[in-house]
Amino acid sequence: MNKEVLFMSNGHGEDLNASLILRELQNIAPHITITAMPLVGEGNAYRSLKLPLMGQPKSLPSGGIFYMNPLTLLKDVGAGLIGLTLYQIRTLLKYCSRYHLIVAVGDIFPVTMAYITGRPFVAFLVSTSSFYEGKLTLPWLTRWCLRSPRCLAIYTRDAFTAQDLQQQGFKNAYFLGYPIMDILTPMGKNLHLDNDIPTIALLPGSRLPEALDNLELLLKVSESLATLEKVQFRVALVQSIKEIDLKQLAEQLKWQYQFFGRLIKEQETNTITVECYYQAFSDIINHCDLAIGMAGTAVEQVVGLGKPVIQLPGKGPQFTYAFAEAQMRLLGISVKTIGKSYKNPHLFTETAKTIQTILKDKNYLQNCKKNGQERVGKPGGSLNIAQAIAQFL
């Protein structure tokens, strides 16, 4: 009999991790039928694999990150969160009996949804880690669901969390790797780099309009840094940022838009050039010496490669100081956040001076490599988790 599996996830990073696992599962077990259910957002990571989607994929104002700011939860409610959730529950209960296994990727939401189906499930707790507080304190509902005999395995995003959960009595908790580290092989994109000059990666994030607000801050940092150090800047853009967006931003900040992806600013002592690229994320972060990041998953990937990251608190709704501070606890010494507000008048000069210091601190740069292995881990997680899932089937 053909086996069917349902993947559920709640957010951009969660969808990405789930899609990487299921792609490996398709390779090793092509007879398995896979359906995806993105609980938050449009599920673009699944759409790119042309998978059948269950439910009613829909983007909400918070992008699923309302725990950082309760006001965004109210915006989500106004945008139809309650009706959407009830529809998802009804749809799930209507069709869940056909699935031999549910894979829940994320936090309390997909884990609870998997539990109410009454079907066997595995959970990948990609949204939480014991590194945040030193000990993982799961919500009581999550603990209840994970202690069910129908929860066959709990996968974690780092080894420290798996060890912690096992000590708390969850003997079926394992760390098999973090899938997001499996898609960072450079594609050979020509970034026009000078190997004798440090490369700074600018990572504004993926959600609009926030990513454009973030890019504005990153360009202002580049202005300050270029007065202190001879460096080169490369921006990893998502497809949702269009050429017209870059032109308008350049005009607003009094930069020159030379041609697609190339921004120039004439200063008294020098000329700054910032080059932007699509579909070059892995090339940019592999070749950079340091990243200035205002993103979630992307910052984790940079840290996993052993690189230092500087964060700036943005306007939000995602990348605020609260989010940046949480990432510092999660990712350790590799990440530094400058200031607590984007309104700080000294934000850009302080950031530039910090970067200048880091680039010359060989001991710190070496420690970042070790820290990346501990906090994020090596590639291979997608296949390892897929093989474990195949065993349950």
The tens digit of pLDDT for each residue in 65-113 reads 544 455 555 555 444 567 667 877 888 989 899 999 999 999 899 999 9
Torsion of CA 265, 267, 271, 277, to 10 degrees: -30
Residue 121, strand partner residues: 102, 151
pTM check: above 0.95: no
Q: Do domains 4-178+378-392 and 199-375 have the same CATH topology?
A: yes
Predicted confidence (pLDDT) at residue 293 exceeds the cutoff of 50: yes
Residue 59's pLDDT band (cuts 50, 70, 90):
low
- Rounded CA separation 292/283 (Å): 15
Amino acid of residue 222: S
Q: Write down the pLDDT at residue 83.
A: 67
The arithmetic mean of pLDDT across residues 290-310, rounded, is 96
Q: Assign 350 to helix, strand or coil.
A: helix
CB 336 within 8 A of CB 308: yes
Q: Which residue has the tokens 């590639």?
A: 379
Fold of 4-178+378-392: Rossmann fold (3.40.50)
Q: Write down the pLDDT at residue 76.
A: 53
Fold of 199-375: Rossmann fold (3.40.50)
- Rounded CA separation 8/241 (Å): 27
The burial class, CB within 10 Å (0-12 / 13-18 / 19+), for 306 is middle
CB 359 within 8 A of CB 198: yes
Domain spans, the chain: 4-178+378-392, 199-375
Q: Where are the alpha helices (DSSP H) in 305-346?
A: 321-331
Predicted confidence (pLDDT) at residue 147 exceeds the cutoff of 70: yes
The tens digit of pLDDT for each residue in 30-58 reads 999 999 999 887 788 898 898 889 876 65
Please tell me the least confidently modeled range out of 95-104, 206-215, 300-309, 380-389: 206-215
Share of the chain above pLDDT 90, in %: 76
Tell me how far apart the 2 most distant CA atoms of the chain are, in Å. Answer: 72
Backbone angles phi, psi at 102, to 5 degrees: -110, 135
CB 145 within 8 A of CB 116: no
